[in-house]
Structure 1
């Protein structure tokens, strides 16, 4: 399926390039449209042949979408600051061990820009489309065939590998495991998209902060950031564990039928 997605994006990219004289797209707009249209074509075909509706793809849980949004998303978002800090330091360590190539430097600089097209692609399109693919279709299929742990880890490995560099592979593996657990517990893409979008948005914010401060922060500021982030993550993890320890697919406690 991933091969079909790549091929579809290549075809769409070529078509947009040919039509660019009329459309006048920038590089960032061209890339965003390529991802959107390419993914849209593949998803439409896969969902048609697997007889999956968009409603069941996004939220296949007995609990209401409103309950999931109100109860699960807030503690999920509390995990983001600690995840950003932890993965940021891990990536920095990786870069010191294996410096970025020229192509990788250009890629990360382009992704880190804050123009509207890039922000929409990174913070909105990527979270929605990647969660539809890796949790809504890939993990969903894995859970039908393999054990819970094998399905979650396998989809996380694929999610990391699709980024095609070791720096994002590790992020994808860690984030994919958390996202896979969330989906298996809730059978909803709502908390997954929220976590994915918040993480991507946070990377752009931190990149801008690092550029404005030249990467120099006092020890007190760093300790305060870590303390607040770990405290928030602990609260979020405890809340999620209490709400999601029941069997996957069950309704949330507040929404159980009488």
Structure 2
């Protein structure tokens, strides 16, 4: 299979299909999809504050990762523009959309009333890092901390849209780093 098509299928089509299935199942079960997935805009003030915090957070994590000896991911050299565009769509849009709808959307909505805020934040962060099996232990620790920050943004604002924007921005930075080589 052509590498561009494979990337589009794995990084974009599968997450989009999973999102469609999640919405369909929620709808069939009679759930209010907007409430379950926290699809409400945050206030402009909260969004600006969290996005500024996220920018500082991403920069601090980069510095900490290098100080801890976490190697930068290998650059994507020799990949054509079409393949990089396909990777970007999946990495910057599709994957963060799916992960945020699941971890900070539905799971926070379901777990917070049962477990309370602190346990929900920690549980969803742990699950978020656990699904990233392609990374080593130091990276998983950093992903856990990212999950905590994203979950706190969701809990504090009541919106999954803000963690999605934060997650997409973080993935965009990682994409640009690897694509630029």
Query: What TM-score results when the alignment is normalised by the length of structure 2?
Result: 0.79
Which one has the largest radius of gyration? 1
Distance 1:41 1:167, change over 3 A: farther
Q: Deviations over 1:175-226 (max 9, x none)?
A: 11111111112211121111111111122223345x2xxxxxxxxxxxxxxx
Q: Deviations over 1:67-101 (max 9, x none)?
A: x25222222221233222222234333536xxx9x
- Alignment of 1:84 with 2:63, yes or no, is no
Distance 1:58 1:69, change over 3 A: farther
Query: What TM-score results when the alignment is normalised by the length of structure 1?
Result: 0.58
Structure 1 residue matching 2:70: 3-state secondary structure = helix
Match of 1:146 in 2: 115
Distance 1:34 1:171, change over 3 A: same
- Alignment of 1:95 with 2:70, yes or no, is yes
2: distance between equivalents of 1:185 and 1:161?
24
Q: What does 1:87-166 align with in structure 2 at a 5 Å threshold? A: 87-92=61-66, 93-95=68-70, 109=76, 115-164=84-133, 165=135, 166=137
Q: Any stretches of 5+ residues in structure 2 without a counterpart?
A: none
Moved over 4 A (4+): none
Count of paired positions = 174
Task: Answer whether contact 2:93 2:168 (CA < 8 A) is retained.
Answer: yes
**Which has the bigger relative contact order, CA under 8 A and spacing at least 6?**
2
Match of 2:46 in 1: 72
Match of 1:48 in 2: 28
Q: Any stretches of 5+ residues in structure 1 without a counterpart?
A: 1-16, 212-258
